[in-house]
Amino acid sequence: MSRNRKSAKAAGARMEQAVADYLAWALNDHRVERRHLSGTKDRGDITGILLDGERVVIEVKDTARADISGHLTEARTEAGNDDAVFWAVVQKRHGIGLHSTQAIGQQLVVMTLEQYATILNHGVPLGEEMES
């Protein structure tokens, strides 16, 4: 593995741990933790989060360039692998470090409008009929 790849993996692992620690603190729930790799059917980077009794999948990204579309697709797929109703991507903000709880809380959360509406609707199917 090249030095740059090792460095990127280490940065990603630091970001994942920072997000897990932040959410455990913010939600006052010690069950929130960084999920370790789980084979071909990845189920997200953070585990232990529930919303209205349903699992939440969090995909964490510390990339030089945000691939929003690709990251959203990955998070949605991982939510399916975990039978989770709720999911989101946490993307590291350029220029905002991980040096404090406040800084970690300033990272970005990205999701589709449909997913945001699903969260606001507590997982209940949206509208009378969803158009495809």
Query: Binning pLDDT at 50, 70 and 90, where does residue 78 land?
Result: very high
- Class level of CATH domain 3-120: alpha beta
Integer angstrom CA distances of residue 80 from 42, 44, 55, 63, 72: 10, 10, 11, 23, 12
State the average pLDDT over residues 78-100: 96
Query: Binning pLDDT at 50, 70 and 90, where does residue 131 land?
Result: low
Residue 59 · residue 89 · CB < 8 Å? yes
- How much is the pLDDT for 7? 84
pLDDT tens-place string over residues 21-40? 999 999 999 999 999 876 67
State the average pLDDT over residues 6-33: 94
Integer angstrom CA distances of residue 50 from 18, 53, 55, 58, 92: 19, 5, 5, 11, 22
pTM: 0.89
pLDDT tens-place string over residues 42-59? 999 999 999 999 999 999
Q: Please check the confidence at residue 130 and state whether its pLDDT lies above 60.
A: no
Residue boundaries of the structural domains of the chain: 3-120
